[in-house]
Amino acid sequence: MATSPSANPSSVEPTSKGNKTILVAEHAGFCHGVKRAVENTLKLGDESDKKVYVIGKLIHNQQVIDQMGEKEIVTVSSLDEVPAGSICVVRTHGAPPEIVSQAEAKGVDVSDATCPDVRLVQNKAIQLAEEGYTVVVVGKEDHPEIVGITAHAGEVNGARIITINHPDDIKARLQGLPTRRIGVVSQTTQMEETFFQMVKELSKVAKELKVFNTICPATYFRQNAAAELASKVDFMVVIGGKMSSNTTHLADLCKTEGTQAIHVETYKELEGCQGLMDAKVVGVTAGASTPDWIIEEVIDYLKSL
């Protein structure tokens, strides 16, 4: 895992003008799965004599995607845009299995950058489906990670799999499905509180409940570090892509601590932020798809205030 500079939340990093104290969360920035995917894809672009394409954003960080574009690694929306004789990278969130088989049939080489933690969820969902459970995936139905998980488990003969993102939706989403035996997995970036609340409510429905807590360790560590830091500062700066679920959850978590927080992709979005200007102690955290250089730019900006 890559972390940002001065990553110990107990350390004090005063600005050059001495106006603010800046504290950085213990866990922030690239997780191991994202780091692996970005490094391997960039290496592929540098070393392969074939054109490299990624179906969907490799990670939810537009600045990294732009960097890849500068290296002629092309992000596309579907396999139809990937020509034969090229390389197709499966994004960190994973992909439905038919994408790989269709690519290979088309004469496209496949490089799988699926995060190992996401692969674990896919395998646990498949296991539950094979064991005959009605599979509940806790997460956002249209998120690419969830699309991949449900597609993999859906290949099991007779599989029953549903996505639920809020306890209030349990009754409606399970209508018409067998509920005696329910198996549960989670989107890797889900908030722990939401996941455990879902499990509690599902336990009232099922006679037998089998649960795999598949929230990835990086998400757990970032959420706990962000909450701890938010309780010590006047204002939180949360850095990461606006489409990044794990970063959005970090911002929401900071706010539940009663601390003002702003979710930004780059330091430019901090300009003119009155809450930041008024704060004496500022906390900084970042989602798992945020590179060090963006975190460093934000910290440099904060030092200039």
Which one of 69, 95, 115 terminates a domain?
115
One-letter identity of residue 281:
V
CATH number reported for the structural domain that contains residue 165 in this entry: 3.40.1010.20
Q: Are residues 84 and 167 in the same domain?
A: no
Q: Does residue 3 form part of some domain?
A: no
240 and 260 part of one domain: yes
Domains in the chain: how many in total?
A: 3
Active-site residue numbers? Answer: 145
Nearest 5 degrees, angle CA 302-CA 224-CA 164?
115
Both 180 and 228 in one domain: the answer is no
Quick check: is 205 in a domain? Answer: yes
Query: pLDDT, tens digit, for every residue of 67-126?
Result: 999 999 999 999 999 999 999 999 999 999 999 999 999 999 999 999 999 999 999 999
**For residue 305, is pLDDT > 80?**
yes
**Do residues 246 and 272 make contact, with C-beta atoms less than 8 angstroms apart?**
no
pLDDT digits (tens, 9 = 90+) for 188-243: 999 999 999 999 999 999 999 999 999 999 999 999 999 999 999 999 999 999 99
108 & 154 share domain: no
Does one domain contain both 73 and 88? yes
Q: Of 115, 148, 171, which one is at a domain's C-terminal end?
A: 115
What tens digit of pLDDT does each residue of 252-299 get?
999 999 999 999 999 999 999 999 999 999 999 999 999 999 999 999
Mark whether 234 and 297 lie in a shared domain: yes
Residue 237 included in any domain: yes
- Which residue range is the domain that position 71 belongs to? 33-115
Interaxial angle between packed helices 144-153 and 116-130, expressed in degrees from 0 to 180 and rounded to the nearest 10: 40
**Short-list 11, 23, 28, 27, CA closest to 231:** 23
Residue 128 lies in a domain: yes
In a domain, 2, yes or no: no
Domain membership of residue 280 (yes or no) is yes
What is the pLDDT at residue 12? 38
Per-residue pLDDT of 20-35, as tens digits, reads 999 999 999 999 999 9
The pLDDT value given to residue 11: 41
Residues 202, 260 within the same domain: no
Distance of CA 150 to the CA centre of its chain: 17
User: What is the residue-wise DSSP string for the chain?
Assistant: ----TT--TT--EE-TTSS-EEEE-SS-S--HHHHHHHHHHHHHHHH-SS-EEEES-SSS-HHHHHHHHHTTPEEESSGGGS-TTSEEEEPTT---HHHHHHHHHHT-EEEE---HHHHHHHHHHHHHHHTTPEEEEES-TTSHHHHHHHHHHTTSTT-EEEEE-SGGGHHHHTTTS--SEEEEEE-TT--HHHHHHHHHHHTTT-SEEEE-----HHHHHHHHHHHHHHTT-SEEEEES-TT-HHHHHHHHHHHHTT-EEEEESSGGGGTT-HHHHH-SEEEEEE-TT--HHHHHHHHHHHHH-
- Asked whether residue 66 is domain-assigned, the answer is yes
Asked if residue 124 belongs to a domain, the reply is: yes
Band (pLDDT 50/70/90 cuts) for residue 19 is: confident
Question: Which of 211, 243, 263 corresponds to the end of one domain?
Answer: 211
Give yes or no: residues 197 and 182 share one domain.
yes
